[in-house]
Amino acid sequence: MRYADVEDRFGTAWNAATQMVQGHVEDALEVLETFHGPDLDGWARGVLAGCAHLRRAQDHIRRAEEFEASGRDRDARHEWLAASAAWQAACDEPTGVLTERREALRFPDPWPHILQLFRDHLEERRADDERQAG
C-alpha cells in the first residue's frame, strides 16, 4: 500500500466528518463507502466494517422515527435500542494502528470523530422524537 493512499483515505474520511457536522449523515456514509481495493490497510477495512454498522444504525433511526410518528412507541423504543447497539458495534470494530510513517500524516485519525459525530446525531434525533411525542 502506498503512503499516498493512506493520506487520501484520511482526507476522504475527514470529508465524511465534515458532511456529518453539516447534518448530511447519508452523504457522509456514502463517502466512507468509497474505500475499495484489494490493498486496503487494516484501518480502511475497519472503517468500512464500522460504516456498515453505522448504516444499520441509520436504518434503525429511520424506522424508530416512523414508529414514533404512527404512535407505535414500543416498536420505536426497540429501534432506538437497536440503533445504539449498531453504533456500539461500529465503535468495537478494530481499525488497527497505522504504524507506517504515522507521525508524518497530515491529518489525525478521523474515525473516532466520525463515531462521536454519529453518536451526537443519534442522540439529537432521539431527543427530537421524544420532544415531538412528549
Residue 8, Cβ neighbours under 10 Å: how many?
12
Q: Could you tell me the three cell numbers for 50?
A: 464500522
The residues near 115 (Cβ < 8 Å, ≥ 6 apart) are: 50, 87, 90, 91
The residues near 122 (Cβ < 8 Å, ≥ 6 apart) are: 57, 61, 83, 84, 87
Q: Which sign, positive or negative, has the C-alpha torsion 107, 118, 96, 37?
A: negative
pLDDT in tens, 27-76: 999 999 998 877 788 888 899 999 999 999 999 999 999 999 999 999 99
Share of the chain above pLDDT 90, in %: 65
Domain positions in the chain are: 3-133
Label residue 33 exposed, middle or buried (CB < 10 Å: 0-12, 13-18, 19+). middle
